A and B are shown apart, each in its own frame.
Chain A
Amino acid sequence: MVEINLNRRQFLKLSGATAVTLAVVELGFNEKKAYASTKEFKIAKSTVTPTICCFCGVGCGILVHTKDNTVVYTEGDPDNPINEGKLCSKGTTIRQLYTSEKRIKKPLYRAPGSDKWVEKDWEWMYETIAKRTKETRDKSFVVSENGMTVNKTEAIASLGGAALDNEETYLLSKMMRGLGVTYLEHQARI
């Protein structure tokens, strides 16, 4: 999963300034003893995965600790030369992106005129969106304009993408141009 030579022990050695390491050093770094005494440490035996902060464009490194299918802790990546382990308030609380109760976990649909969301499965959502896209595209598609081939639809817009991964923006750009979408914009404009 992670192409990084970083097991728990190496990681503890790396993050020299953290309280966790200090605690372990106080234990004399007897590994067995450390394991036995780490019940109170959330990050003991957690898996560490490096990531890059999802907020501003500086690109700080963050280590995500996961255990028992949840995110137990996040902290600055001491190896990343951009931030050398330091983080701002937003980077520090990145764990809550996973643990916040406000996350939506199921596809939601709102019918015309309705005052509520209804849960739907992905299959229905994909199929219905594809159908709507095709209907609108077919109705509005312009093949030529003043004798020039233009292959476009001006009835569909795509907005956003500044927080997507490069690979995602690439597929989005390819799909939208492929459909003939001209109203293609994102946050770089606003």
Chain B
Amino acid sequence: MQYTDCALIMGANPAENHPISFRWLTKAKENGGKIISVDPRYTRTSSMSDIYAPLRSGTDIPFIGGMIKYALDNNLYHKEYVAKYTNASFIVKESFKFEDGLFSGYNADKRSYDKTQWAFEKDTEGNLVKDFSLEHPRSVFQLMKKHYSRYDVDTVVKVTGTPKEDLLKVYKAFCATGQVGKAGTIMYAMGTTQHTVGTQNVRAFAMIQLLLGNIGLPGGGVNAMRGESNVQGSTDFGLLYGNLTGYLNAPTSTDPLNATLAGHLEKETPKTGYWSNKPKFIVSLLKAWYGPNATAANEFAYQYLPKGNKNYSHMNLFKAMYDGTLEGAFLFGTNPVVGGPNAGKEKEALSNLKWLVAVDLWETETSAFWQTEAGSNPAKINTEVFLLPACSSYEKEGSISNSARWMQYRWQAIKPLGESKADLEIIHELATRIKGLYKNESGPKAEPINALYWNYGEGHHPDIDLVCKEINGYDVNTGKLIAGFGNLKDDGSTCSGNWIYCGFYPEEGKNRAKNRDKKDTGMSLYLNWSYAWPMNRRILYNRASCDPSGVPYNKEKAVVWYDAVQGKWTGVDVPDFVATRKPGDAGFEDPFIMMNDGVGGVFAPTLNDGPFPEHYEPFESPVQNPFSSQEINPAIQIFYGKFNERGFKADFPIVATTYRVSEHWQSGTMTRNQAWLSELVPYMYIEMSEELAKEKGIKNKDEVIVSSARGEVKAYAMVTKRFKPHKINGKNVHQIGMPWHFGYKGIATGETANRLTPHIGDANTTIPEYKAFLCDVRRA
């Protein structure tokens, strides 16, 4: 980040929530770089920025859509990069249409699209049809130009509420990074993703970055600021229903091809791009999970994998609990009664469980949901609750992966406090004991669990080194560790629990997560400090930092290049490319090796809600959508009934969002149970503008009640200049903000903001829309 010429921070507040990352931006500033903050509220990040632009929550797509138009109209995009490194030159089939907010192929009953209508055109031999002049009317480039021609500055400011001069300042400064040799970065967090159009918000970022040639270079990229220390790793390791480890899709029962391993591999494996190696990764994973019980004769135990048939994501999970179809649940360090959307309903749902296992350092609002203090009647709740004390991160050993995919090892500093234990041991004990109960059983229910290979040494505490080796992978005949995922096989001779990590432990005694050589190996990449997946690459798609012939666009900030003398790719980073690919070789000019077509996707025909980001208003909004008659994202799943009450402008005219503060973390369990941090931010508060406070007769520090269609929250008013009413279509629209860290347990207590937020989510990820909903405020 210190190498960036311009950082656009949108949907994030790193000075507050990722303070140490912000240090590197201040370095960039010292080097002449600019910082832009776009946020509904003037944040700590805004105060450190060169340019600040406010916007109404939920209007990121108009903001960036306008920037795309600005870059195209003013010829500020990186022409060679766009033509060669993106799919802008691809021709889209005639069936692709866009009219009044809807793309072609929409089915209103199912609220979903037939995406085949957005496919690329192919010639008779099945090759993509391209026009590198970008002039074909059905080229992605021309379709994009047409789509965003509607996002003119005047329409944009009417919907975002951003003052026109601020908007243009941002466009001008950021689009200047489209110059060859310049780098701009976008930093985002949950302010971007927690919307019904969250995925398309990120897509809009990716599009502008591809247009400006900002992906794959130092000081460039679209950077997700991760909120939890290992949310990167836990996602890599498949703790989401839809994928196994390493982003391999979990098989579903809805596709007949998944009936067999052969069919599943056929369905999952593209013919081109790096994913064409997928069968090696899937079979190696099955070998890691089922060991000698996975053989060629039994499809490598593929049939033991569960096959779901629906969306099992967080809100659907709680809906199932609310409806009483879930019987038991395990919680590992999570507190949905504070952190979940429409948290009052999530608490209610818990009482329908027969049993609940919570593994935590603390008694949380969730594990204590049955208490009088929680507003419950214990006599009426029949849930059995098992609370297992976990130890903290430095009372055990293991690795975590940060936002930049650096896998850093943590050594044990002290024995676990009291009787608390490492989660590794708890999970191991539970698995061992459950397996034990099935040991003497046979039949279809016992078979999958009996076949699960669980071999991590003797004694209660598993041997973590054995776990590490299984994650990396080894030759199952010789036990020899695998040097990298290029060596994995699909014949059952290798195992690897997570192929993207394969290579972190390439030989005996060399767990590279433990590397602590602090020497700067060039461009501050520190290749010998920890390990970054894949294959220790620090900048993904770094091939794109070079021109098609392999020469860096910016020689002073070169990270990789093609060395004609050695006949291979080299540099200060590990090339994210086939190192031996030479000029003239097929694919030499295609830098995005994980994409099937080898280029960046300006047009994304795989998303549920359209190949181009289009503006729709949040599920709850006080404003009419000026871009089309589609008010809300036409492809989102809607829960009806009491589980998801919806509010409207007449009763709830104020836009609300949630946010975090530096002194607390997430649902607060880790910080509200500490004395100093509790003292620093002791009370729940609602932040509002002076203008709104005046209208409502509220003074700073007054007690106020915020209400939404879901519930009410009492808190102190914090009246500041950081919020200003948005001028939308000439009228004032008020917005308030509130921290979501509080609950009734711990040292610092307060009412829970998420009792107000709705059960509605993004069309692709079902991430809840915490960041834009409607409320009203009154004095308590």
Contact = CB atoms under 8 A, between A and B. Distances in A.
Contact of B231 (A4, A57, A138, A171): A57
Nearest to A152: B306
B258 to A, nearest CB: 7
B433 A1 contact: no
B516 interface: yes
B76 interface: no
A184 B312 contact: yes
Given A3-B411, A167-B424, A185-B240, A175 B430 contact: yes
A112 B351 CA distance: 10
B361 interface: yes
B295 interface: no
Considering residues B226, B241, B304, which has the most beta carbons from chain A within 10 angstroms of its beta carbon? B241
A166 B400 contact: yes
Contacts of A168: 398, 422-424, 427
Contacts of B516: 3-4, 50, 79
A79 to B, nearest CB: 5
Interface string A83-112: 100111111011011101011111111111
Contact of A171 (B306, B427, B438, B449): B427
A187 B231 contact: yes
A189 B467 CA distance: 26
Given A97-B392, A150-B253, A108 B387 contact: yes
A177 B306 CA distance: 6
Interface string B319-357: 011000111111111101001110000000000001101
Interface string A119-148: 000100111111111101111110101111
B178 interface: no
B307 to A, nearest CB: 4
B389 A105 contact: yes
A143 B233 contact: no
Contacts of A139: 327
B414 A69 contact: yes
A148 B382 contact: no
Given A56-B17, A159-B331, A167-B424, A179 B408 contact: no
Contact count band on B: 35 or more
Contact count band on A: 35 or more
Contact of B411 (A49, A91, A182): A49
A21 B113 CA distance: 65
A126 to B, nearest CB: 5
A97 B626 CA distance: 50
A93 B676 contact: yes
A72 B16 CA distance: 27
Given A100-B673, A149-B303, A182 B518 contact: no
B674 A185 contact: no
Given A52-B229, A167-B399, A58 B379 contact: no
A151 B341 contact: no
A90 B665 contact: yes
B362 A103 contact: yes
A140 B330 CA distance: 16
B670 interface: yes
Contacts of A180: 306, 448
Given A55-B670, A109-B385, 14 more contacts: A56-B225, A80-B529, A88-B19, A94-B394, A96-B677, A98-B414, A108-B363, A110-B384, A111-B384, A159-B331, A162-B231, A164-B234, A166-B230, A186-B234
Nearest first, the 5 closest Cβ-Cβ pairs linking A and B are A57-B226, A105-B418, A165-B398, A160-B334, A59-B402
